[in-house]
Structure 1
Amino acid sequence: MEDIDKKELSERDICTKFITPAIKQANWKERQIREEVKLTNGRIIVKGSTTSRGKPKRADYVLSYKPNIPLAVVEAKKNTHTLGDGMQQALLYAEMLDVPFAFSSNGDAFLFHDRTGTFGKVEAEIPLESFPSPEFLWQKYCEWKGLDEGRQKIVTQNYFIDHRKSLRYYQRIAINRTVEAIAKGQNRILLVMATGTGKTLAAFQIIWRLWKAGVKKRILYLADRNILIKQTRINDFKHFGNAMTKIQNHEVEKSYEIYLSLYQAVSGTEEDKNIYKQFSPEFFDLVIIDECHRGSAAEDSVWREILEYFSSATQIGLTATPKETKDVSNIHYFGEPIYTYSLKQGIEDGFLAPYRVIRIDLDKDLAGWRPEKNQVDRYGTPIEDRIYNQKDFDRNLVLEKRTELVAKKVTEFLKANDRFDKTIVFCENIDHAERMREAIVNENPDLTGENRKYVMRITGDNPEGKAELDNFIDPESRYPVIATTSKLMSTGVDAQTCKLIVLDKRIESMTEFKQIIGRGTRINEDYGKFYFTIMDFKKATELFADPDFDGEPVEIYDFEGENGSGKSRDMDEENNREKYFVNDVDVDVVIERTQYYGPDGKLITESLKDYTRKTLLKDFESLDSFLKYWNEAEKKQEIISELEERGVLFDALAEEVGKDLDPFDLICHVAFDRPPMSRKERADRVKKSDYFSKYGENAQEVLDALLDKYADDGIEDLESLNVLKVQPFDRMGTPLEIIKRFEGKNNYLEAVKGLENQIYTL
């Protein structure tokens, strides 16, 4: 070791030769040490119709007492760095993983950071040979968490090991915090996890560990949609096997341990229908309430009666959207959330799909419409004389040409992308959903002629439509493609491949809005689903700007509320006005604009040119400072990727400014007002220069083809050796043979670098 010059070693060598041996010397076993642990997938960056990913977060080491209990992270740096250079990164990962201890090392020693306050000193340097043992850190962890010997037995109970479905970091936190809270006697728990982040998987692992530890022996899992119970039973909960049953047909069999049930199956207005009373109040010792923002949140609901009947049981509420209105409160019943994992965080981590918004404002929606004197609708009914606006449309007044226009815009979008992209159209009510189905059918006679299920109305009152719900959410099922609905599909529907959500419905409830947006947030890489589009006709997406959209839930329940009914103001209530149908009033698009998901989790609502200019001018005060940064970069593509991660949407910007512009020209033009040149113009300019003259004829042929490739596809291909494997280079020989034309790889790379310099000369 003495002969090794540490300054010359790579970070990986520092780990192998110094850090790992020091950790193992402290009695950490192989199974307790995980290296280069991928924590996130990297945010999905939408580039026109294609996507890329930002850099995932990786921890150099995660040390665990048992696989389910991580205790520490260790960040390594090359020996040219100081001992503490990795500490801020280590603390970031420690906070992410909810672990108390962080270490940074450059191979000389360790800098130790204690987040528990049990050591007396927050940070201290410790020699390599004095790294703490797992038993020592576990003891400190238990002191910090207040875990005595009995509680330790519960929290160390293993997960169910499923090698096909490894747990993500935030799922482990949700599970561990819940199990620890129950071990310490907490009986009301609220878990808030964004749609698509695995609430049911977390619930399964919580139940599994408590069940196997013998702490909870009879468990009731409640939901209020059949499809939720079905998905739960055949997916995550299938490992309970014969210990599990579903309560149905008002039959009670008390020999099982895990019970799944619809609220509706165990409750009713008559005593003999209240099947839950066939169980004793103490029968269940754990009750899980899925989507608890719905019925169980209201104090006077029948569903709340069930929870109060089993009040001696530990109760866990699961939701993506805790409901907090004047009359309804999850937090009042369950307490503050024990853990929250938000949509914004899920998108940032790359576990959830980002979105873009197409806002389409219609003239009658903006200006309103007033009938002429004594005007009647298509059925001869006199229309009440007043101004009708967006609140009235499709509730009190139907402008049939408006429905047709919405159907046309949806169809135009699908035709421009993929007509078989799964699409949900949210309508004001069932009648509106049926009329929208008809309008979309008429816009797509070819595909609806091939298969009548291309468009289906899937609403609660329609058995034929409801029967197709499973097919709609099944990625392998082609039909239905487009579903029109009002409320049935707004929550709990696992539509993994839904790529378009259409909002032709006024949404004034944040809870409902979050649930609807959640229908599109799942990623399915096998089917090319990385992002989704929201087409908004009713200004619903203005709720994205509401601070409550992705914030922490805040209790606003009014115990002495004026509305004693317990009915949420969020409910969609049809009024009793007569509905008029008008078929001869034209409706037109006033403005259509696309808004993109920004790196700060907010929609970019200004023009992309203005947004890009502001973003770039934060980093580059002048054209010269940008040119210096650009010219010094080893690879231009790295700069492009870095700026894309920070929200510069080159593809979308190119559509706005000019499609054949290089990112370099887009930056110079948009941020610094330079006249742009197209890629072809830049390539032609190089060909007319004397740059080629220094090379032989065979090498010139390659450089000429590279310029053509740049003109067609951009700089990325130019900087990759893989370009030599595709046309037209494959006709010139193998990559090795092509490189020989330049008398070696270094000469080839130097020629490409020179070519780049020529391309980007202003």
Structure 2
Amino acid sequence: MTDKKSLSERDICTKYITPAVIQAGWDLFTQIREEVSFTKGRIIVRGKLHTRGELKRADYILYYKSNIPLAVIEAKDNSHGVGSGMQQALNYAETLAVPFVFSSNGNGFLFHDRTGLADQTERELRLDEFPSPAELWQRYCLWKGIATEQALKTVEMPYYDDGLGRAPRYYQANAINNTIEAVAREQQRILLVMATGTGKTYTAFQIIWRLWKSGTKKRILFLADRNILVDQTKNNDFKPLGAAMTKISKREIDKSYEIYLSLYQAVTGSEEDQNIYKQFSPDFFDLIVIDECHRGSASEDSAWRVILDYFSSATHIGLTATPKETRDVSSIYYFGEPVFSYTLKQGIDDGFLAPYKVVRIDIDKDLQGWRPNKGQADKNGLMIEDRIYNQIDMDRTLVLEKRTELVARKITEYLTATDPYAKTIVFCDDIDHAERMRQALVNLNPERVKESRKYVMRITGDEIEGKAELDNFINPEERYPVIATTSKLMTTGVDAQTCKLVVLDQHIKSMTEFKQMIGRGTRINEDYDKYWFTIMDFKKATELFADEAFDGPPIVIYEPEPDQPPVPPEEPPAGDDSEAGAPNDTGGGTITEPGTGRVKYVIGDVTVYVLSERVQYLSADGKLITESLKDYTRSTVRRDYSSLNDFLLSWNKADRKAAILKELEEHGLLLEPLADEVGKDFDAFDLICHVAFDQPPLTRRERAEQVKKRNYFTKYGEQARRVLETLLEKYADTGIQNIEDIKILTLDPFKNMGTASELVSAFGGKPAYMAALHELEEHLYA
């Protein structure tokens, strides 16, 4: 009989854990999932290369009716204790929002109840005591406060299944389930906070689908404040709603539909006859979903808030990446605390969002300031006020044309060195600035512009042709436009999946606005090799990364003033997007900003230069660090191996050196850029020992020559000796990883020596060949 302690972890699962769970009544095909990877592995960037880190994988996740995760089981082999996997399982359960947690070594289970309702948080169970689905579901409903028959029907309604195997990611499932459960408990105001690029609209669709199909909500309104958001939603994520859905675009409303999509601007206005929403009765809708709810309806005195007030009896669900919390405006004051939050940091950690590196460029006149000569006039004859102008004035009060050219040149240099066709958004201070930047980029890229005049386009709210190119810019299959200069239009709702460069030449003080701008680059598109993006910062905007508010929980600081009469703010024109602070061009080059009386001085002959330039990377804890590749490698290796001896012991014991290198790669070690910096002729072993532990390196050729001098090959037959000598040459040329794979025997020059099976037979079979290969490695690293 097989000794239980000799069984692998997988054998323990197959022979003991799975049978115990099935015996308790769990269905193998619909309720039990094994080896579930629920993250993708953080993308780690160094230089021009990237790698993926470790992903999170649960041994078991148990579901109720296939869509609600109830339990996690972490398995260990029988040489471990029954509770050895509990801490790891609790980590997974916390991420997955699962209340019931089990650890097992095949002898029994350790059961941890996270609901707080059990008499005992942890207790041991025999294999035949595993709880049934009904038992755990009853506990779950008690924990969630799901008590009525209608609430159960609402919560149990499955997701929409497209038949293509696309299921919600774990955090989307958490968001959907938390929202559905809140509605089932008759919560009327609900807030979902999800970082840009994490699928808010798809999440909203699944919420709507389940509430609609369960009959819990029969007539639904989806509100947005930008036309592109409504059209993208209708044509993409909401498409399965089909004939039940319509977009409100006419003055007369057809009330036969069940799901309506609308712009705020399409149903409301300053005149009473423009308030089309009043054609519906106040109780017509029982669910309203508000996209980007930090904007149009966030403020109590907003002209758009009246729509929500009119349909106040409906359940209101707000979606945003950036809840707005100021003394005058509060998303949380209206919607309540978020029922679910998923931040940019979490998305990057999980590998669902693209990380970034920051190229920070400081310009001399920005930091040191510039003062005009006495009586100096600008290029249009306007006398310049005598004071010191610095970064806060650039492109607002003072236009230095050579500064614009310098920024454009740095953008061009970066794209030329990386990918001239990488989609790029340049955020400028206003429309005038965006137009000047467009001109500067056109002049610096004559060959690209000759290929297509749309290589650089200004995409702003005032310009019809530029706005018409927005769809082409965000379409990965369209090459042009490549560079978009903009001000406010592209801060939100622009699904630029392949945007690889975000340029900040704008004064940004609003955290909400900063997050939205950064969000333009956070989407991953593996088909187009988009795994990370670069932020090029000219105006210290990225200092906001250090602000606690960047990735922390939203904090309410709202101070309502009920005695103050509301003053409705100006809203953007219907179906369009305003550009804040857009100046008027007076035609002569001196620019005045409307409503402010502020003058922009334009100067063409002031020389500017780059004072400093540095590259910062995102660390594992979400902070920007300026760190050399060598320093990063040293810290990465030493996290796994505290000393040279630890590393040597693991290296020498490993059956395959590639396994150690793969593990280090998952922890962030990138050998290729390191070899570019240290030397391409060094083996991975020497690169690591040299950089991490200060050991003098040997080249691969030097190691190979040392082995030849030992002349130990003579104990083998002629053909086996030729194979080993050729493997040694391959090592000298390409490194250890390639010679460890037995498939190398099918390639040149080995295939000229005989078939792979013949070459292996020369050693006396595969085990003897592998032993000879290990001996070769021992001599290489002696």
TM range (shorter): over 0.9
Contact 1:706 1:718 in 2 (8 A): yes
Q: Aligned to 1:456, what secondary structure does the other structure show?
A: strand
How many residues in Structure 1 have an aligned counterpart in Structure 2? 757
Structure 1 counterpart of 2:346, one-letter code:
Q
In the other structure, the counterpart of 2:72 is 73
SS at match of 1:140: helix
What displacement does 1:468 show?
A: 0.9
Whether the aligned pair in 1 keeps the contact of 2:53 and 2:667 (CA below 8 Å) is no
Contact 1:298-1:566 at 8 Å conserved across structures: no
The residue type equivalent to 2:23 in the other structure is Q
Change beyond 3 A, Cα 1:548–1:753: farther
Describe the SS at the equivalent of 1:21: helix
Q: Aligned residue for 2:355?
A: 354
Paired position in structure 2 for 1:674: 695
Q: Does 1:588 align with 2:609?
A: yes
1:178 aligned partner: 179
Give the root-mean-square deviation of aligned CA atoms. Answer: 2.7
Give the secondary-structure state (helix, strand or coil) at the position aligned to 1:357.
Answer: strand
Distance 1:657 1:394 in 2: 42
CA distance in 2, matches of 1:375, 1:732: 83
The aligned counterpart of 1:9 is 7
Alignment CA distance shift 1:538-1:54 (3 Å): same
Alignment gaps of 5+ in structure 2:
571-578, 582-592
Which residue in the other structure is 1:135 paired with?
A: 134
**CA distance in 2 between partners of 1:701 and 1:589 (Å):** 58
Q: CA deviation at 1:721?
A: 3.4
Trace 1:525-544 onto structure 2 (pairs within 5 A).
525-544=526-545
Identify the residue that residue 638 of structure 1 maps to in structure 2: 659
SS at match of 2:218: coil
1:359-758 matched pairs, under 5 angstroms: 359-560=360-561, 573=581, 576-617=597-638, 620-658=641-679, 660-683=681-704, 686=707, 690=711, 698-699=719-720, 702-703=723-724, 706-707=727-728, 709-711=730-732, 713-725=734-746, 729=750, 734-740=755-761, 742-758=763-779
CA distance in structure 2 between the aligned counterparts of 1:440 and 1:711, rounded to whole angstroms? 47
> 2:195 corresponds to which residue?
194
Q: Secondary structure at the match of 1:261?
A: strand
> Which residue of structure 2 aligns with residue 20 of structure 1?
18
- TM-score (norm: length of structure 1): 0.93
Task: Look up the SS of the partner of 1:297 in the other structure.
Answer: coil
1:343 aligns with 2:344: yes
Q: Distance in 1 between matches of 2:463 and 2:637?
A: 53
Structure 1 residue aligned with 2:158: 158
Match runs of 1:214-253 below 5 Å: 214-253=215-254
1:492 partner letter:
G
Which residue pairs with 1:42 in the alignment?
Answer: 41
| C-alpha distance 739-435 of structure 1, shift in aligned 2 (>3 A) | farther
In 1, the alpha carbon distance for the partners of 2:722 and 2:363 equals: 55
**1:716-738: per-residue Cα shift (whole Å, max 9, x none)?**
32433344455555555554455
1:359 offset after TM fit, Å? 1.6
Partner Cα distance (1:286, 1:334) in 2 = 14
Give 1:245 deviation, angstroms.
0.7
1:496-539, Cα deviation, whole Å (9 max, x unpaired): 11111112222222111111111111111111111112122222
In 1: Cα distance, 2:251 partner to 2:220 partner: 18
Assess if the C-alpha contact under 8 Å between 1:327 and 1:567 holds in 2.
Answer: no
State the distance in 2 between where 1:22 and 1:315 align.
44
2:329 and 2:231 map into 1 onto residues whose CA distance is 28
Aligned to 1:104: 103
Query: In 1, Cα distance between the equivalents of 2:568 and 2:558?
Result: 11
| Consecutive unaligned residues in structure 1, runs of 5 or more | none
Distance, in Å, in 2 between the alignment partners of 1:722 and 1:48 is: 31
CA contact (8 A) 1:402 1:587 kept: yes
Distance 1:202 1:80, change over 3 A: same
Amino acid at match of 1:59: A
1:61 equivalent in alignment to 2:60:
yes
Contact 1:47–1:650 (CA<8 Å) still a contact in 2?
Answer: no
Question: What's the offset of the Cα at 1:316?
Answer: 0.6
How far, CA to CA, are the matches of 1:388 and 1:727 in structure 2?
Answer: 67
Alpha carbons of structure 1 residues 48 and 609: separation in structure 2 relative to 1, 3 Å: closer
Q: 1:252-331 alignment to 2 at 5 Å?
A: 252-331=253-332
Contact kept? 1:222, 1:262, Cα under 8 Å: yes
Share of identical aligned residues, percent? 66
Q: Which moved more, 1:468-477 or 1:408-417?
A: 408-417
1:12 is displaced (CA, Å) by: 2.1
d(CA) in 1 for partners of 2:370, 2:755: 69
CA shift digits 1:355-379 (9 cap, x unpaired): 2222222222222222233333333
Give, in whole Å, the separation in 2 of the partners of 1:356 and 1:446.
28
Following TM superposition, by how much is the alpha carbon of 1:653 offset from its aligned partner in structure 2, in angstroms?
4.4
Distance in 1 (alpha carbons) for counterparts of 2:475 and 2:93:
38
Letter in 1 for 2:155: V
Counterpart contact for 2:617–2:627, Cα < 8 Å? no
Q: Distance in 2 between matches of 1:238 and 1:391?
A: 46
Name the SS of the counterpart of 1:511 in structure 2. helix
In 2, distance between residues paired with 1:707 and 1:357?
Answer: 42
| Residues 699 and 742 in structure 1, CA contact (< 8 A), matched pair in contact too | yes
2:440 counterpart letter in structure 1:
A
Q: What code does the residue aligned with 1:632 have? A: K
- Hey, what's the Cα distance between the residues in 1 that align with 2:64 and 2:535? 45
**Counterparts in 2 of 1:136 and 1:619: CA distance versus 1, 3 Å:** closer
Q: Which 4+ residue blocks in structure 1 deviate beyond 6 angstroms?
A: 561-568
Task: Kindly indicate whether the alpha-carbon contact (under 8 Å) linking 1:43 and 1:347 is maintained by their aligned counterparts in 2.
Answer: yes
- Name the CA distance, whole Å, in 2 between partners of 1:225 and 1:11: 53
Q: Deviations over 1:217-276 (max 9, x none)?
A: 111101111111111001111111111111113332211111101111112111111211
How far 1:484 moved relative to its partner? 1.3
Residues 728, 552 of structure 1: alpha-carbon distance in 2 compared, 3 angstrom cutoff? farther
**Whole-Å Cα distance in 1 between the matches of residues 51 and 515 of structure 2?**
25
Q: CA separation in 1, counterparts of 2:720 and 2:329?
A: 74
**d(CA) in 2 for partners of 1:645 and 1:755?**
27
Partner SS for 2:391 = coil
CA contact (8 A) 1:599 1:647 kept: no
Amino acid aligned to 1:29 = D
CA change 1:723–1:429 in 2 (3 A) is: farther
Q: Is the 8 A contact 2:195 2:344 kept in 1?
A: yes
Q: Is the 8 Å Cα contact of residues 473 and 481 (structure 2) preserved in structure 1? A: yes
- Higher alpha-carbon deviation: 213-222 or 46-55: 46-55
Instruction: Describe the SS at the equivalent of 1:62.
Output: strand
Q: CA separation in 1, counterparts of 2:347 and 2:710?
A: 50
* Contact preservation (8 Å) 2:46, 2:629: no
Deviation at 1:193, TM superposition (A): 0.8
CA distance in 1, matches of 2:400, 2:715: 71
Q: How many Å apart are 1:662 and its aligned residue?
A: 4.4
Q: Is the 8 A contact 1:423 1:483 kept in 2?
A: yes
The letter of the residue matching 1:8 is: S
Residues 378-429 of structure 1, C-alpha deviation per residue, up to 9 Å, x if partnerless? 3333333222211111222222222222222222222222222211111121
Q: Are residues 701 and 537 of structure 1, via their aligned partners in 2, closer, same or farther at CA, if it must alter by over 3 Å?
A: farther
CA-CA distance at 1:147 after TM superposition: 1.4
Instruction: Give the 3-state SS of the residue equivalent to 2:737 in structure 1.
Output: helix
CA distance 1:521–1:735, change in 2 (3 Å): farther
- Please identify, of 189-198 and 442-451, the stretch whose mean Cα deviation from structure 2 is larger: 442-451
Q: Which amino acid aligns with 1:377?
A: D
| Alpha-carbon offset, residue 659 of structure 1 | 5.2
The AA in structure 1 aligned to 2:83 is G
